[in-house]
Chains A and B, each alone.
Chain A
């Protein structure tokens, strides 16, 4: 599976959600088919709430982990 890494640490809000949505739309088919996943690295605390809500609403599976002072948000297909 291909992992698409987005490092959005320190960027202006709401870069995190906007860039995540853009990538989700661009790779919609691959992610849903289980061929790719998106891994976002961010220090935006609000994004740990808004991204899972938006992505789950679109039918993706999301998990969030705090790693080394930042957050990793992984978005993948439901299957």
Chain B
């Protein structure tokens, strides 16, 4: 195996394993962070997300200034379009209905959640379904591009990234320090082997940084859901899959750290760069959470669930898969990766995610949990 590919696979797998353990121990759920603001006026987890963003912002920028990070912005980010806003909105609804986002559902699945598994199936189906509307949607995305050929806010303003990112990270750190002093960053927990969410936030920021330095980009997994969808669909309708333009795309084309040649990949059937970067991460998160739960003697699946919750998980998963292609990409990619470098796509995605989570919370309490 090409040593560069070997490094990417090993790092992604290891980062995934660690992230799976951390997320399970802290129950570090991005969906809950947004949803609980609307359901319970509870901002506790959202503060932890802000901590993750602030730490990542500082790490990514110091890493860039120190020469550890060479490609900023990282690959797969694009110019801001309304597609990201709409994608974020649909994603927000989907994650609340599914009870977890694309990453959250993975660690919950690893820890024995049947609804997490149902949501995952929905996500794969939703990602594959996107291929049917890709020509129209990409035309919409192009037509609604807000700032062509520009990815981040510092690029748009024409300033050095550090001039914006470091003061912003410092401001965030000051505010968070105040929250820590006021006791609003910790709360009692009784789960065995509990990891305080603030520690998880710092650990996940460090894992994102490791991924950025060694793989060339922060954690992201959703293109491979489309790839998995293409594989499954090609088992029953190979000619149809072969005719879909979306599966021909190769949006990932970059030179990884320590490499002297570029690699590329996309949502299609090939065992390409997307598969190399993302599949080990997915496997790692599920395996890490599984091992963590088993270690504590937890994680036995419960199959007897209210049918409407299974329907909600499937429907939420479908919306998540679809939205992750509309946006493109997921909340973890945008919040933990794009937001810390002020990628405009990520800001738009988050602006859509908030009202989406609000609507999702209403749907959940009206139709699902009764």
Contact = CB atoms under 8 A, between A and B. Distances in A.
Contacts of A69: 296-300
A13 B365 CA distance: 11
Nearest to B308: A12
Interface residues of A, number: 26
Contact of A11 (B35, B299, B309): B309
Nearest to B306: A11
B305 A10 contact: yes
A36 to B, nearest CB: 21
B320 to A, nearest CB: 14
Nearest to B365: A18
A49 B191 contact: yes
Given A50-B42, A70-B298, A13 B32 contact: yes
B100 A13 contact: yes
Contacts of A18: 39, 365, 369
Interface stretch (B62-70, B109-117, B137-145, B205-213): B109-117
A12 B369 contact: yes
A41 B29 CA distance: 21
A11 B115 contact: yes
Contacts of B189: 45, 48-49
Most buried by A among B27, B42, B98, B111: B27
Contacts of A17: 40
Interface string B187-220: 1111110100000000000000000000000000
A70 B300 CA distance: 9
Contacts of A70: 298, 300
A43 B298 contact: yes
B252 interface: no
Contacts of A44: 27
A15 interface: yes
A14 B302 contact: no
Contacts of B112: 10, 43
Interface in B89-136: 98-100, 111-115
A39 to B, nearest CB: 15
B273 interface: no
Interface of A: 9-15, 17-19, 43-46, 48-50, 52-54, 64, 66, 68-71
